Amino acid sequence: MQSLSDDNCQLGENVELLTRNQVREDLIALLKDAREDYDPSIAITDSTGVFNELGLESIDAIGLGSALEGHFGQTLPFPEFMAKAKEENLTDITVGRLLDFLMATLKTSAEGKVA
């Protein structure tokens, strides 16, 4: 028999998964909107490269940063995120890495959902 705290822990994990999935869905929609010539045959996953596979350019990244802030209604340290990626000599930024950044920086409510 599970204790109440076990049930709460499992519920918390499910909420986190749903929250991450929702942020992923929103991010993918914004990435598609960032390029007028987006190819809908490209399946976007966490391992998809934003620049090499989706074809975003520097100017698109600036627009994406603004779009993310507008969508989530928060100021995000997106320029710092991009600068750190450059310092690390990354050849591309994956959707998963961008999602990790969003999950770490978006303000959350007490329920664990993005505010």
Could you state, in chain order, the average pLDDT of each consecutive group of 10 residues for the chain (115 residues)? 41 51 94 87 94 91 93 92 92 95 76 50
pLDDT, residue 54, reads 93
pTM: 0.76
What is the domain partition of the chain in residue ranges? 4-105
pLDDT, residue 114, reads 55
Give the CATH H-level superfamily of domain 4-105. ACP-like (1.10.1200.10)
| Residue 77, CA distances (Å) to 15, 17, 45, 54, 84 in order | 25, 23, 23, 22, 11
